[in-house]
Amino acid sequence: MRETAREAHPTRARSPHRLVLFAVAGAATCAVVVAVTLGVSGSSEHPAAAQAEPAAVQLLDRVALVAQAAPAPGVRDGQFLYTKTVGHSTSLSETSNGAMAAARTDESAERWVSVDGSEGTVTRTARGTSTEPAGGKDRASINGPTYRFLAGLPTDPGWLLEKIYADARLNHGEGSGSTTGPDQEAFVAIGDLLRTVEAPPGVSAALYRAAARIPGVVLVPEATDALGRKGAAVARVHKGQRTEWIFDTRSLRLLGERTVLLKDGPWGKAGTPVTSVAIVTRGVVDRAGQVPGR
């Protein structure tokens, strides 16, 4: 979305297929205090000059503690992680008179992801059902993880972040042609890892703590997910857009993610969520197409 807004051909906000599965933290008895004023100027275009905001670090640490204490999911190879989500994405295309027009697309979905990669990933939307070919047990990666792949990641936040940055620098660093940059890509990659498949508790906690070390990460005291649920968000600003991970302020459960415009432009008015996805339910099932409890 960020790199193609000026192109004449249709384009779409970052694919929600990388967003539809969210790692849900367990319940916590403590509430988080989020009465902090958000400042997004200054570090938004040059985040390397600013460390993560202390309030955001505090929230991520609380979330990590909850994730660490959660029971590990009971999964077996051959099973599937099921997630039902609701949300939308935004596409941008050129009209006949040369203007740019933005339109929403319903991205509500059910998805079944193979625990070990031995089976294909099945996605069901209002447009139909699609199947991604099986990647195999040994072909998972940062950008295409399975539960088993995540289970093998380091639980030390520093080591884990360096592994993520190595991939980010390779594909979005100097000379790559990407305008995203390693810091923003690392933040996006961690969010994708947390949402694509549920990770073991220790790895989930390490991912949250690794995100707290990324320059430019801030706290948004009030945010609303695609279901209208209120929460607080950890976010990062890049090129006039703010990517938010929204958490329930009591349970610290991850509710969803959205990308919000900070200034008027072809995608819409400031404050518009151009991409928003919220979790409805999750579970473990034995076969694709099966719904938990049935």
Q: Which pLDDT value is given to residue 59?
A: 97
Is the pLDDT at 128 greater than 80, yes or no? yes
Residue 1 is assigned to a structural domain of this protein = no
Give the per-residue pLDDT at 176: 67
Q: With a cut of 80, say whether residue 1 has pLDDT above it.
A: no
Longest Cα pair distance anywhere in the chain, in angstroms? 57
pLDDT at 40: 33
Higher pLDDT, 110 or 198: 110
- 49-97: per-residue pLDDT in tens? 458 899 999 999 999 999 999 998 889 999 998 989 999 999 888 777 8
Cα–Cα distance for residue pair 26/99, rounded to 1 Å: 47
Domain count, the chain: 1
pLDDT at 262 over 50: yes
Task: Report if pTM > 0.75.
Answer: yes
The arithmetic mean of pLDDT across residues 127-134, rounded, is 88
> Tokens 């620098």 belong to which residue?
169
Overall average pLDDT of the 114-128 stretch: 91
> Is residue 121 domain-resident?
yes
Is the pLDDT assigned to residue 151 strictly greater than 70?
yes
CA neighbours closer than 13 Å in the CB half-sphere of residue 258: 29
Residue 105 maps to a domain: yes
CA distance 232 to 221: 5
Least confident of 18-27, 137-146, 188-197, 259-268: 18-27
Domain that holds residue 79: 11-285
Percentage with pLDDT > 70 across the chain: 81
Tell me whether residue 66 is in a domain: yes
Q: Is the pLDDT of residue 216 over 80?
A: yes
Higher pLDDT, 18 or 285: 285
Flag whether 102 is in a domain: yes
| Residues 168-211: tens digit of each pLDDT | 888 777 766 677 889 999 999 998 888 777 889 999 999 999 99
Mean pLDDT over 239-258 rounds to 95
Relative orientation angle of helices 201-211 and 157-172, to the nearest 10 degrees: 60
Q: Which amino acid is at 61?
A: D
Average the pLDDT over 23-30 and give the result.
Answer: 38
Residue 263 maps to a domain: yes
Distances (CA, A) of 25 to 44, 50, 66, 202, 250: 28, 28, 6, 12, 11
d(CA 4, CA 118): 35
What is the structure's pLDDT at 269?
93
- How confident is the model at residue 5, as a pLDDT? 38
Q: How many whole angstroms separate alpha carbon 185 and alpha carbon 166? A: 11
On whether residue 252 sits in a domain, the answer given is yes
Mean model confidence pLDDT for the chain? 82
128 is a domain residue: yes
